[in-house]
Amino acid sequence: MQAHGINAAAITFDSREVLSNFAAAYKIGYPLLADAGSKVIREFGIFNTNIPEDHKMMYGIPWPGDFLIAPDGTVRDKFFLRSYEHRVSASEVVLRHFDGRGANSVEIKAGAVSATVALSTGRCFPGQELGLALDLRMEPGWHVYGKPLPSQYRAVELTLESPLIDGQSLELPAPKPLLLKALNETLPVYEGGFKAYGKVGIKWSPPMPAKFLEPLGEMIKPGLYRIAGTLRFQACSDEICEAPQSVTFELPLTIEAGVPPAPKKSA
């Protein structure tokens, strides 16, 4: 993040003493701000209401997420999730605002269409949300279709498949209507190219069972996984309309081992 001029700071409901011990144990190099009583957390509207008041360990925490703040103090973007088990990855912020190709990408070439599909990182922990990007390009004179579309045509669609994935989305820009004289139809199309961004949630798996958690399924083991993907589209020009295509690809993703608890300070 520092390569893009981003500096990090975190705020929690913990005391200064707790944060000082935490920073020392894990060698944290960015500011940790203590918000005892969760006053600032409440004022920013990010108080986690999923935690019951009788849960002494966690009551008062914020929704997990990030604000991206410009040098003049304005909020450029915010990334928040509604569950304490899941976290937005910093790489998602970088992908959307600074580097659309991402750190983990694959190139696709199919006739007049070429594309870059990227995840924001090649390494993450269970429960993290990653950024997803699609950079689609067409040769001059060609177009691909968007939605809504009659069933005999194929609209652009990108999907990922893996047991690791717990939800995904991709926000495509609005296509433009184009009169296709040869067909005497006006259909939504993309010409030239476009960039689209989305999200991929990685399933949560705690580093170790805890008595207050619900019964768990199979734990996600650390290691290298392959995320399968399919890019679907139909490319046409003024003279020819190709058959719908489905191009498959893979993106590597390494799941990191959970961070062990910090050692207790000796009395």
**Neighbour-count burial of 81, counting CB atoms closer than 10 A to its CB (0-12 exposed, 13-18 middle, 19+ buried):** middle
Q: Shortest CA distance to 188 belongs to which of 198, 197, 203, 178?
A: 178
What residue type is assigned to position 21 of the chain?
Answer: N
Specify the fold of 86-255.
Immunoglobulin-like (2.60.40)
- What Cα–Cα distance (Å) separates residue 217 from each residue in 114, 119, 212, 222? 39, 26, 15, 16
- Cβ atoms of 118 and 104 within 8 Å: the answer is yes
In this predicted structure, the answer to whether residue 248 has a pLDDT above a threshold of 50 is yes
In this predicted structure, the answer to whether residue 208 has a pLDDT above a threshold of 70 is no
* Residue ranges per structural domain of the chain: 6-63, 86-255
The helix or strand, by DSSP H or E, that contains position 138, with its residue range, turns out to be strand 128-138
pTM: 0.81
Summarised one tens digit per residue, pLDDT across range 23-41 is 998 888 889 999 988 999 9
**Neighbour-count burial of 202, counting CB atoms closer than 10 A to its CB (0-12 exposed, 13-18 middle, 19+ buried):** buried
Confidence of residue 1 (pLDDT cuts 50, 70, 90): low
Summarised one tens digit per residue, pLDDT across range 49-75 is 888 888 888 888 888 888 888 888 888
Q: Is 244 helix (H, G, I), strand (E, B) or coil?
A: coil
Token match 């990182």: residue? Answer: 121
- Cβ atoms of 131 and 169 within 8 Å: the answer is no
Share of the chain above pLDDT 90, in %: 51
In this predicted structure, the answer to whether residue 81 has a pLDDT above a threshold of 60 is yes
Average pLDDT over residues 179-199: 91
Which of 10-19, 128-137, 168-177, 222-231 is least confident? 10-19
Cis omega before residue 215 (within 30°)? no
Strand 245-255 and strand 123-124: pairing? Answer: parallel
Instruction: Determine the pLDDT at residue 213.
Output: 47
Identify the bridge partners of residue 114 per DSSP, sorted by sequence position. 109, 137
Instruction: Determine the pLDDT at residue 215.
Output: 46
| Separation of alpha carbons 193 and 137, rounded Å | 4
Radius of gyration of the chain (CA): 23
Confidence of residue 257 (pLDDT cuts 50, 70, 90): confident
